[in-house]
Structure 1
Amino acid sequence: MGKAKKTPKFAVKKKLVSSKTIKKYKEEVLNPNKKDTQKDKLPKNVPTVSSALYFTYNTALGPPYRVLVDTNFINFSIQNKLDLVDAMMQCLYAKCTPCITDCVMAELEKLGQKYRVALRIAKDSRFDRLPCIHKGTYADDCIVDRVTQHKCYIVATCDRDLKRRIRKIPGVPIMYITQHKYSIERLPEATLGGAPRI
């Protein structure tokens, strides 16, 4: 017959505080000249919450809507034979102002002769031209940065990666093309404070 194992009894021994722990405590907590390492670990540029957002309600969104257009959205509109401004007005039932950044224009110019129709549409006088200050001409980063700073835009894109990035930003609706017409995603949530979809 084997020896029965004893279960450990809790709270029997009192732990003694050693002199090393007291010294360490004094150095960490009570020393006023010591630098706080936790503040150094925090990120430098913490994004501030937009004043336009009230919980999930975006107060900056309202007619006339400002729609930030991506390169592939113009190309897909041409393929589906949709006029940008008219189709946007049919989708939102309000006046829309399509906006194009310098990065999107540069991308369209880089694509060359094949996309000359898209470039001609983008140079239309009904479109607002938004200047870019940053370096480079990568339109996706430009659109994401602009939308995080200013919550007054609806983003029009068919790019899956860009949609995924924009969904992480609260209060920004996404316009895309489905079944030969424009459709809007997250607009009730952005304007009606998280209203359920019907």
Structure 2
Amino acid sequence: MPRAKRSKQYRKLMEQFSMGFGYRVPYQVLVDADFIAEANKCKMDLVRRLEDTLHGEVKPMITQCSMRHLYERKSEPGVEAAIEQAKTQFERRRCGHHPDEYPEPLSALECIQSVVDPKDNSLNKHRYVCAINDDAVRASIRQIAGTPLLFIRRSVMIMEPMATVSAKIRSKDEKSKFRAELKTVVGGKRKREDDSDDSDQDGNEKQGTGKSDEPEKLEEKKKSKKRKRGRKEPNPLAVKKKQPKPASDGQHSKAPEANEAGANEADAAETGQAEAPKRKRRRRRGRGANKAGGDATTEEATVTPNTANSTGEAPAVVSNTANAEE
């Protein structure tokens, strides 16, 4: 597995431990004698490598029994450097196994298990991260729920995946939280922000008036305050305006005439000029009447402008004259 992918996996694993079992930085890392001896053998910067693996600050710790194991292996190469590092950089964790009572140090399994799970209830109460290189000890500590485990193989620090016991407890807690949320939603205890604001306003009104509204009125208020959800209309500013349709030939020909007529009427109204008066009819006396001395009357038909012939000639004057008595 590539280094970047493995680092991402370790970060997610520590996030799961922090959410499920309450791990916080700085992480308390409990180291045994074999682990620190292997790290010095590989010339590994132990504290820095622990921080890179756990993705956070660490607080390395070592028990009194593990220190006594290191002193017993002092003759081995590289153990003296491990003893000096444990003295200077590691915090001493008192396990209660004093040399007066226990002339020989307890095994790593008994000592670390008594520190991690002092009450034997399979719970890591103080949230220790165990860095153990012995497979048998790691298999025993794996039964304690919520315990991250580290070990070194071929100068590479490896973090074990979450144990089955820890995964079951974590899934059980998540299901219980989910059921609690469902109960609150079904019971009606959980409300939206808008409902809570409305209830606060109603409560203030009730305190001022000293009377409580009827349930029917409350239901009507809730219905009226519900948001209408449906299809939204488009933005009127973004909609293109409709253009008028082009008129037909007949309408197009009549339109300018109507416009011209309206313009003429408007001009006439503005100038105050009326239409030209019609020509009056006039009576003319015939020549024969003058000769007769005026005994006979003459009648003459006036010429109207509409009596023009189709040839364009002026109409003839029709006259009825009474012949005078000779």
Same fold (TM over 0.5): yes
Structure with greater contact order relative to length (CA < 8 Å, sep ≥ 6): 1
CA distance in structure 1 between the aligned counterparts of 2:59 and 2:47, rounded to whole angstroms: 7
CA distance in structure 1 between the aligned counterparts of 2:70 and 2:128, rounded to whole angstroms: 21
The residue that corresponds to 1:120 in the other structure is 84
Q: By how many angstroms is 1:187 displaced? A: 5.4
Q: By how many angstroms is 1:161 displaced? A: 0.7
CA distance in structure 2 between the aligned counterparts of 1:103 and 1:188, rounded to whole angstroms: 26
CA distance in structure 1 between the aligned counterparts of 2:144 and 2:25, rounded to whole angstroms: 21
Q: How do 1:59-70 residues align onto structure 2 when only pairs under 5 Å count?
A: 59=22, 61-70=23-32
Equivalent pair of 1:151/1:172 in contact (CA under 8 Å): no
Equivalent pair of 1:65/1:153 in contact (CA under 8 Å): yes
Per-residue CA deviation, residues 34-76 of structure 1 (Å, 9 max, x unaligned), is xxxxxxxxxxxxxxxxxxxxxx9312x2211010001000111
Specify whether residues 90 and 121 from structure 1 end up closer, same or farther in structure 2 by C-alpha distance, changes over 3 A only: same
Is 1:107 matched with 2:99?
no
CA distance in structure 1 between the aligned counterparts of 2:163 and 2:110, rounded to whole angstroms: 25
Is 1:83 matched with 2:45?
yes
The residue that corresponds to 1:7 in the other structure is none
Q: By how many angstroms is 1:147 displaced? A: 0.8
Per-residue CA deviation, residues 132-179 of structure 1 (Å, 9 max, x unaligned), is 213431232110111113341000011011011101111111011134
Q: How do 1:112-191 residues align onto structure 2 when only pairs under 5 Å count?
A: 112-114=74-76, 115-124=79-88, 126-134=89-97, 135-136=101-102, 137-138=105-106, 139-149=108-118, 150-186=125-161
Q: For residue 84 of structure 2, what is the amino acid of its counterpart? A: R
- Normalized against structure 1, the TM-score is what? 0.62
CA distance in structure 1 between the aligned counterparts of 2:63 and 2:57, rounded to whole angstroms: 20
SS across alignment from 2:117:
helix
SS across alignment from 1:98:
strand
Greater strand percent: which structure?
1
The residue that corresponds to 1:96 in the other structure is 58
Q: How do 1:38-77 residues align onto structure 2 when only pairs under 5 Å count?
A: 57-59=20-22, 61-77=23-39
Per-residue CA deviation, residues 98-152 of structure 1 (Å, 9 max, x unaligned), is 101111111111122322121111112x311112213431232110111113341
Q: How many residues align?
A: 138
Greater helix percent: which structure?
2
Task: Calculate the aligned-residue CA RMSD, in Å.
Answer: 2.6
SS across alignment from 2:25:
coil
Bigger-Rg structure (1/2): 2
CA distance in structure 2 between the aligned counterparts of 1:164 and 1:131, rounded to whole angstroms: 23
Q: For residue 81 of structure 2, what is the amino acid of its counterpart? A: V
Equivalent pair of 1:151/1:171 in contact (CA under 8 Å): no
CA distance in structure 1 between the aligned counterparts of 2:28 and 2:161, rounded to whole angstroms: 15
The residue that corresponds to 2:282 in the other structure is none
